[in-house]
């Protein structure tokens, strides 16, 4: 997906990695708040447009269940981070399951009072799961 994002504009990938730096201003308490759209200058509009373009590309590349995960995100970086966390944990679960199945395969022995047919079925289930 990284190449899919980089293809139209490599700067989109930088925006996702580094964050969108959406336009903000300071209120009377010196806190940063989102800038009003009516007060955007040309640079602010360019940054907002780049973020929208990156979000659009991500949305085009994902399926509907993934869209539900990221639809509430404000920035493309936030969308990417959420997808990254989702798939990192999924890969970790898969790796753990594979590791357990490999251990079952390596330690496979016939149990007491087990016939050949049930042992073969158990062995086949481990192999198929792997």
Q: Are 8 and 53 in contact (CB under 8 A)?
A: yes
User: Is pLDDT at 86 greater than 80 in this prediction?
Assistant: no
Structural domain for 83, as ranges:
2-129
CA angle 28, 34, 37 (to 5 degrees): 110
Count of domains forming the chain: 1
> For residue 25, which phi and psi values (nearest 5 degrees)?
-140, 175
User: Is pLDDT at 118 greater than 70 in this prediction?
Assistant: yes
User: Is pLDDT at 26 greater than 90 in this prediction?
Assistant: no
Q: Find where tokens 């990254």 sit.
A: 84
Can you tell me the distance from the alpha carbon of 20 to that of 93, in angstroms, rounded to the nearest whole number? 31
pTM for this prediction: 0.60
Residue, of 91 and 33, whose pLDDT is higher: 33
Can you tell me the distance from the alpha carbon of 67 to that of 87, in angstroms, rounded to the nearest whole number? 14
């Amino acid at each position: 997906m990284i190449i899919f994002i980089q293809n139209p504009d490599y700067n989109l990938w930088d925006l996702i990695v580094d964050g969108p730096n959406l336009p903000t201003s300071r209120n009377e308490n010196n806190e940063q708040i989102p800038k009003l759209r009516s007060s955007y200058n040309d640079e602010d509009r360019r940054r907002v447009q780049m973020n929208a373009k990156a979000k659009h590309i991500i949305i085009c590349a994902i399926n509907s269940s993934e869209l539900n995960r990221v639809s509430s995100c404000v920035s493309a970086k936030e969308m990417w981070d959420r997808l990254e966390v989702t798939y990192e944990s999924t890969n970790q679960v898969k790796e753990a399951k594979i590791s357990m199945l490999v251990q079952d395969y390596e330690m496979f022995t016939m149990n007491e009072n087990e016939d050949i047919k049930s042992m073969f079925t158990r062995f086949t289930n481990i192999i198929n799961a792997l």
